[in-house]
Structures are given as structure tokens and as C-alpha cells.
Amino acid sequence: MSPAGLEPHPLIASAEVLPPARTGLLRWAPPRELADGAASSGPAAWRLWLAHRSGWLARRLHAQADQALAAAELACGWDDARLDAELLRLRQALRLGRPLAARDVPASGASGANAAGAASAATLRAMPRAVPQTAVLALALAAVAEVAARSVGRRPYRVQLLAALAMHEGLVVQMKAGEGKTLAVALAAVLQGWQGRPCHVVTANEYLAQRDAEQMAPLFARCGLRATAVVHGMPAEALRAAYAADLVYATSKQLLADHLCDQIVLGGATDAARRRIHELRPGGAAQVRTRGLHAALVDEADSVMIDEANTPLIISAPQPNPLLVAAVLAARDIADGLQDGLHYSIDARLREVDLTDAGRAHLEDLTRTLPPVWHAPERRDDLIRQAVSARDLFLRDRHYIVQDGKIEILDENTGRVMEGRTWSYGLHQAIEAREGVELTQPSKTLARMSFQDFFCRYHRLAGASGTLQGVHGELWRTYGLPSFTVPTRLPSRLEVAPLRHFANAQARRAALLDEVVRLHALRLPVLVGTRRLEDSEALATELARRGLVAAVLNARQTAQEAAVVAAAGRPGSITVATNMAGRGTDILLDGAVREHGGLQVLMFEPHESARVDWQLFGRAGRQGQPGAAQPCVALDDDLLLRHLPWWLRPLRSALAGSSGLRGLLIAPLVRLAQSRAGRHAALQRRWLQQRERQMRKQLSFADDGR
């Protein structure tokens, strides 16, 4: 018997099997932590883990991919009527979970270019008994692949078939940038949509949700499925109609927000019986937005499930409190009279403000004549901490922008505006007071949930990404997702230059501008990636002074994103973008560009996660095309200031005066800072899980009846 008590089908032994991904020895690993904090995920997850760790699952997936590729070659000769008939037959077989008769496996006189897959198909047709469900899955995927070739003009490669099969098994797949994750996710979505239950395709941003749903719509329609994209601001009726589709493309924030709204309407009910009782009430069904949580396929899984899962999502409602509004304004004025080091201290790494004993005594003297809200020491300290944080820790055009007289929060991972989101505990009002805009009313929490808890509520969960380095363990511990690496189809031609280092940001900016001018003179397209909105606009302004026009892509230009990306691969084009262009965007190159070096990526400064750096580099050198990337770093970068150990910070002054010494030590220092930042973020997510679990136990209304 094979691992997990699963017997391999004879077909596997007859097909050529590629070596599985490196799995190492069988080792113990913690089970999936479910939403209720239980320490058991059932035998199914353990069987999946054992099959994965032993390498048996990898061998089976490779065999299925060979079989699907051979069947896809046979499907090339079908006319449209035959293809539609096979789609219907295979869809019914998958949905009902029944095997096919061996004689129903299609035969053809195809050339059999894939010898292993052809042998697999021949073995199936020769079998007197029924075709097993695993083979039905491969045949169904082959039919869907042929539909993709005819409807959207993209014939899936073997690596994409392999990725789709792995996601169907409940794995998170690592594919190199440019290998076709969008199509692989769409193939897996079709197989899941044929089950007749809700399937959500989670994307990194709304632009990708709309783009992917639109591009893959002909594929889904031919397969008998309807796909929609859900974005922020949709009317209630349109939202319910969108969620009624077989496949729903949306961001994790949108899905969780709509799920929490449904929980408020349903009174916390999550089981089918209580939900159905509510829907049977007059008008009850019209209030519910979604059809529930069954399956989710997460594109850019590391970004969505790791990087963006540091804070819970909260649904709140305004709660007028004029006394608090007046207190926030008073706290702003008081904070302006406090001195750093004397009255308070700031931990830039943790973004925390601590009042000193002298500061507390000073506040007590200042607030004797203020209203009673200031007489409670804890409340008084909170107001001042938020006022100081609004001034010193949360910066305009970096953490937020002022747009139409409102404070709009910027997502630090993507550089995009987080529409409809506000900070909690009075911080949002403190920033509004600092910027001089109209203060919004404080709010009360109606519902909240962490993204870890939310994704664990799906019955079926899988995903794909190009950068899973260093997060395999967290994906398993938190979500029960084993990782599977798909081999590359073509060798990479991306050339990543050594880290270029500078004593300060000013020197780096001047050198980077000179490099852009040089590359532009060679008629090569240039993509400059920045972490901050202010840097992107400053670079564009400096280039304009040198007579060069740069397209800017940041939170203020989201409407032009498609046009900017479409033109970014043209000869001599210059694009300056924040992180929002680092994931999911496929920059198409002109023929002349491919012949002379491809897209040139310049990284303005390193990110807190090396995975984000590689996402930016991955915009170039896609699908075997040429490309180059040049990372840059300055000693006064935020990464080094916040995350280097205190005992190494004095070393920065020595490195600033010695270029040779800086060249020897800068790369290890950047790696150390990124490693410390990653550990801190992981601990923060762990703490968030524990805190949310404690809150669910303490608040009786948070119990969902499980």
C-alpha cells in the first residue's frame, strides 16, 4: 500500500514519472489549525500531508499530467459538437463522482508525441473495468485545455496542467513568474465549478479580478459556467447577482467583508440549517449576499494569505460621540508641545509610542482643566499616543493620501488605496485632525475576523504563487496547505545584477536617474519599482526635468493601470510604479525589445520581504524571454533603519564613508534585516490568531454553532 492507505493505479507504473519535488525525510508537522482552534484536522488532511511528504502524490500528479497532455492531443481532432458532448459527459462524471466505462475513453490515431501519456491512454482503453476517478479528472482537464485553446487562444502547457491538478488536490503551487498561473488557476476553477458549489478565485487586487474574469469568460462559458468579478462599491442587487455565479473573482478583503455582512444579517449562523431558516423568512434571502464558503483558489497566495493577513478586517458603524471628537482635537494640540525622548519614546520597528513618567506627569498637569474624559489616566494616555502616532509614525503619501477631503489608507503591500477602510481606536480621527480635514464620527464594531480564520472556513482551499520561499511551514501550520513546486517550462534568461549600494537616498536617486537615461537612449523599456507613492512621483518629476516622459502607476492613477501596463513594453518606454505593478501584471514586449535585452527593471529600495523583491524582478524575463533587474539600496532606507539590531546601527556611519567595506557587508545586512522583518511579521500574525481565538471564546455571540 502507498502512503495514506491509497493504492496507486496500475496506470502510474506504466507512465514515465518525472522526479518529484524535493520532499526530504518523513517528518512530523503540526496539523491544520481550524477556525475554532482545534488541534485536529481529521484524517483527510493527514493523508494528504503523508502522500505529499513521501513523494507519492507528486508522482501521481506527474502521471496525471502526462495522461491529460496525451488526451489533449487526441482532443485536437474533435469537432465542436464532439467537444461539447465530451464536456457534458465529463462534467456529469466529475459532479456525480462516478467512473467512466473504459470503452468511453476517446481513441485516435494521434502521433503520440508524448510517449508516456500515449501509453497511459492506451492502457486505459485496454482496461476491462471502469476508468478510475483520477483518470476521469485527467480526461476532463484535457477537454478543458482544448476549450482554452479554441476560446481564448491559449493552449495550456504541461506545467499548467500539472499546476491545475495540484490545486485540485488542495495544494498551493509554486510556479515561476510568467509560467501562466492565470490560465492554470482558470483550469482548476473550471474543475471546481463543475461540482455545482460556490467557487471563489481570490486575486491580489480588483484590477486583476476584473481582468482575469473578462479574459477567461469565453473559456468558462464554453464549459457551461458563469464567472463574474466582485469589486468594491457594487449595488446590493448587482452584488447578489454576481455571487450567484458559478465562479466569483474577488479580492480577499471584498470576500471577507461580504462574509461578515452576511454574518451580521444571519445573526452569526454559518451552518446550512440555520442559514436556510433565515432565508425562508420574508425578505430574508434578499439580505444575504453570498452563497456561502465552499472552495477558494488563491492567486498570489503568499501575498494574500501571508503578507496581507497581519490585521483583521472589521465591519463597523458610525457612533456619534462629540466629546471624543473634541478630545481628539485637543490631543493634537497637546502632542505638538511634547518632546521626543523627554515625554515619550518611539519604537519605529513596532510602530509604538510609550509615554515616560515625566510625560505622564506633564499630561496630568495639563489636563486638570479639561473635560472629564481626560481625567482617566488610561484614556488620556491613549489619546496622546494616537496623536503622536498620527504625527510621527503615519506619513502622508506613504501610509495614506488625502483625496476629496478624506483620508484614504494605502496598502503597504500593493500601494493601492484601500477603499472604505479606516483605522480603529481613534487613530483615523487623529490623522484627520492632523491633516485638517473634517473628522468622521467614531465607530462601533459590528463584526470582525482575521484572514487566517476566514480562509480556514473554506471546505476546499488551494492556491498558486511565484514566490513561496520561506513560507511553506506557515502555509501548512495555518491553512493546512502543503506546497508543490512545478518545474519550469523554459530556462530563465533573467539577469539579476548584484546589489548596488549607496551612502544615502540622494546619491541613489541621482544614480538611478542616470541609469534610466542611459537605458532610454538604448531604446529599452524601463520599469522602476518603488515602495512609496511619494518616491514614484518624485522620480517622474526629476525625469521630466531631464526631458523624459515617464508613465506613473500608483494609488492616484489606478484608472490608467491597463493602459500603462499595455505600453510598458514598448521601445524606450519609462514606467515608474509602486508595488501595485509587482504582482499579476504581464508586460508584453515588442519584437525589437526582445532582441536587444528585454525589459529592464530597477528596484529603488528593498522591501521588507525578499519575496516582494522577486515579484518585481519577475516582471522581466518571463517565459524564457530576456530581461534584467538591478536592485538598489541606501544606508538610510527604512528597511535598515527599522529592522537591523540596535548593536549594528552604529556600523552604518562607518559604511557610509567606505564604499569598499559597504560593498562587502551590505548584502548580508539587507538579508538580515529582511529576515528579522519576516520573523516579526510572522509573530504578529501568530499573535493575531491567538487573540482572535481568545475573543471568540470570550464573546458568546461569536460562536457560530460548530
pLDDT in the model for residue 287: 73
Quote the CA–CA distance of 605 and 603 in Å, as a whole number: 6
pLDDT in the model for residue 365: 85
Instruction: Look at 18-32, 218-232, 648-662 and tell me which has the smallest mean pLDDT.
Output: 18-32
Quote the CA–CA distance of 691 and 453 in Å, as a whole number: 11
> Is the pLDDT reported for residue 276 higher than 60?
yes
The 10s digit of each residue's pLDDT in 499-514 is 999 999 999 999 999 9
> Is the pLDDT reported for residue 686 higher than 50?
yes
Q: What is the mean pLDDT of residues 681-686?
A: 88
Query: pLDDT over 70 for what percent of the chain?
Result: 83
| 137 class by beta-carbon count within 10 Å (0-12 exposed, 13-18 middle, 19+ buried) | buried
* Residue pair 174/466 in contact by the 8 Å Cβ criterion: yes
What's the whole-number average pLDDT of the chain?
Answer: 82
The 10s digit of each residue's pLDDT in 285-329 is 557 888 889 999 999 999 899 988 888 888 888 888 888 888 888
> Is the pLDDT reported for residue 639 higher than 50?
yes
Higher pLDDT: 192 or 418? It is 192
pLDDT in the model for residue 98: 63
Higher pLDDT: 39 or 371? It is 371
The kind and range of the H/E element at 485 are strand 483-485
Q: What is the mean pLDDT of residues 123-151?
A: 75
Which of 219-228, 449-458, 467-476, 655-664 has maximum average pLDDT? 219-228
Quote the CA–CA distance of 281 and 275 in Å, as a whole number: 10
The kind and range of the H/E element at 142 are helix 133-151
> Is the pLDDT reported for residue 176 higher than 70?
yes
Higher pLDDT: 375 or 703? It is 375
CATH topology of domain 493-674: Rossmann fold (3.40.50)
pLDDT in the model for residue 585: 66
pLDDT in the model for residue 652: 81
Tell me which long-range contacts 126-134 makes (C-beta under 8 A, separation of at least 24): 126/102, 127/102, 128/102, 129/102, 130/99, 130/100, 130/101, 130/102, 131/99, 131/100, 131/101, 131/102, 131/104, 131/105, 132/9, 132/99, 133/97, 133/99, 134/9, 134/60, 134/64
Quote the CA–CA distance of 165 and 60 in Å, as a whole number: 10
Confidence of residue 651 (pLDDT cuts 50, 70, 90): confident
pLDDT in the model for residue 580: 59
pLDDT in the model for residue 441: 83
pLDDT in the model for residue 395: 87
Q: What is the mean pLDDT of residues 375-391?
A: 89
Strand-pair category, 352-355 with 344-347? antiparallel
Q: What is the mean pLDDT of residues 472-494?
A: 90
Confidence of residue 275 (pLDDT cuts 50, 70, 90): low
- Domain ranges within the chain, ordered by starting residue: 1-12+40-151, 320-441, 493-674
Q: Minimal CA–CA distance to 558: which of 681, 419, 664?
A: 419
SS3 category, 317: strand
Query: pLDDT over 90 for what percent of the chain?
Result: 40
pLDDT in the model for residue 105: 52
Confidence of residue 6 (pLDDT cuts 50, 70, 90): very low
pLDDT in the model for residue 127: 40
Q: Minimal CA–CA distance to 525: which of 632, 633, 628?
A: 628
Higher pLDDT: 228 or 125? It is 228
Strand partners, 425: none
Q: Minimal CA–CA distance to 654: which of 533, 503, 515, 513?
A: 503
* Residue pair 209/251 in contact by the 8 Å Cβ criterion: yes
* Residue pair 582/612 in contact by the 8 Å Cβ criterion: yes
pLDDT in the model for residue 706: 41
| Fold equal for 320-441 and 493-674 | no
pLDDT in the model for residue 3: 33
pLDDT in the model for residue 131: 52
Higher pLDDT: 72 or 270? It is 72
**pTM of this prediction?**
0.83
CATH 3.90.1440.10 is held by the domain 320-441: yes
Quote the CA–CA distance of 223 and 246 in Å, as a whole number: 11
Higher pLDDT: 350 or 664? It is 664
pLDDT in the model for residue 273: 65
